[in-house]
Amino acid sequence: MTPHSSVFCSIVPPHILERLAESDNPAYAQAAQRTLLMDVTQRSAREEAPPAPEGAPSDKPQRTIYDAEHGTELPGVRVHEESDRPSKDATVNRAHAGLGATFDLFFKAFGHRSIDGAGMPLIASVHFDEKYDNAFWNGEQMVFGDGDGELFLDFTIPVDVIGHELAHGFTQHSANLAYFGQSGALNESVSDVFGSLVKQHALGQTADQADWLIGAGLLGPAIDNGVALRSMKEPGTAYDDDELGKDPQPATMDDYVRTSSDNGGVHINSGIPNHAFYLLATELGGFAWERAGKIWYDVMTGGTLTEEARFNEFARATVASARRLFGEGDEVQSVLKAWSLVGVPTT
């Protein structure tokens, strides 16, 4: 399977940045406009991206951190390698730790070496651009902005943001889901699922202990009513703020959003499969990566999904995977129940 040639996936959805770009506060509007422009530039720059580097299969991560020094040339100046002592720069240390936490989840929970399964070196650039309100995976590496300090803080703060973006690399090298419509929403959802699992795994949390938020700790002091970018537990409730607007994510197919923006609503409708995973994981209990996560991992690496998979195709694949991994037990019934509750058919 050949990964898509154009890969640019960012954590902050366009609908948030587009709203902020029209803010009455000139500083907020300028930061959002600059971020949107840079995202377009980076997306275009990756259309001819070369294949990502491959490494030798290893039980340990190979991490390298670069400092973009508030410029836009990537990767920047190399400032930290795998064997180095902790940096005096907290952002560098958080990036290093987040790459490691993601490697640990995939290897320790699923036996998957790095995000490609073959030991791919993990590369990240920090301090990208001035007041850049985003983080992204560009098909080769992670890139983190520092945020503007008012709307968004440093993007290395939430480990699930790091896990989310690296999981786009996992999808790129496994099921390779097309980034449009329902397959794109699945692409985004898979990143939220594994991003959340990275956080839960790092903290040793069971499904009922987890907050199931994506990006908690990222929103800055200018946001009065918001806890994160998304909620898997209650899609549509992560924020309702004068600056950010109202979280538009649906939890079920009854509220599915049909739109031509954001590649067909990939960051919006991902709330539906996100909620299905949450329902499954909490129904099964225990550590979410042990059963629910293994089902999702098996679907992504099993080679049965089409690149344009819709929600019902993915749902059917999870039922088949649960049956294959666990037999006719609670897992299969819980998978069927989760998809039924969000209105996605499995037949």
For the stretch 167-210, pLDDT in tens is: 999 999 999 999 999 999 999 999 999 999 999 999 999 999 99
Domain end residue (candidates: 172, 199, 220): 172
Residues 6+ apart with CB under 8 A from 232: 192, 193, 196, 212, 213, 214, 271, 274, 275, 277, 278
164/189 same-domain check: no
The predicted pLDDT at position 17 comes to 96
195/113 same-domain check: no
32/148 same-domain check: yes
Could you tell me if 145 and 132 are in contact, meaning their C-beta atoms sit under 8 angstroms apart? yes
Confidence band, pLDDT 50/70/90 cuts, at residue 49: very low
**DSSP string over 104-120:** HIIIIIH---TTTSS-P
- CATH number of the domain enclosing 240: 1.10.390.10
What are the start-end ranges of the E strands in 202-336? 213-214, 230-231, 240-241, 245-246
100/235 same-domain check: no
The predicted pLDDT at position 56 comes to 59
pTM: 0.95
Instruction: Please report whether residue 53 resides in a domain.
Output: yes
Mean pLDDT of 273-277: 98
Domain end residue (candidates: 172, 199, 223): 172
Instruction: Please report whether residue 3 resides in a domain.
Output: no
In this structure, how many other beta carbons lie within 10 angstroms of the beta carbon of residue 284? 21
Instruction: Please report whether residue 1 resides in a domain.
Output: no
Instruction: Please report whether residue 4 resides in a domain.
Output: no
132/212 same-domain check: no
The predicted pLDDT at position 303 comes to 95
Domain end residue (candidates: 143, 172, 201): 172
Residues spanned by the domain of 91 = 9-172
Closest CA to 105 of 204, 232, 211: 204
Does the pLDDT value for residue 50 go beyond 60? no
Mind listing the pLDDT tens digit for each residue in 149-174? Answer: 999 999 999 999 999 999 999 999 99
196/142 same-domain check: no
Instruction: Please report whether residue 346 resides in a domain.
Output: no
CA distances in angstroms from 42 to 37, 45, 266, listed in the order given: 9, 5, 19
86/203 same-domain check: no
Confidence band, pLDDT 50/70/90 cuts, at residue 77: very high
Catalytically active residues are 165, 267
Mean pLDDT of 114-131: 96
CA angle at 125 for the pair 105 and 215, rounded to the nearest 5°? 55
326/185 same-domain check: yes
219/115 same-domain check: no
- CATH number of the domain enclosing 86: 3.10.170.10
130/216 same-domain check: no
| Domain tally, the chain | 2
18/150 same-domain check: yes
Which residue, chain included where needed, has tokens 């803080």? 153
Does the pLDDT value for residue 2 go beyond 60? no
Is the model more confident about 10 or about 4?
Answer: 10
Could you tell me if 133 and 41 are in contact, meaning their C-beta atoms sit under 8 angstroms apart? no
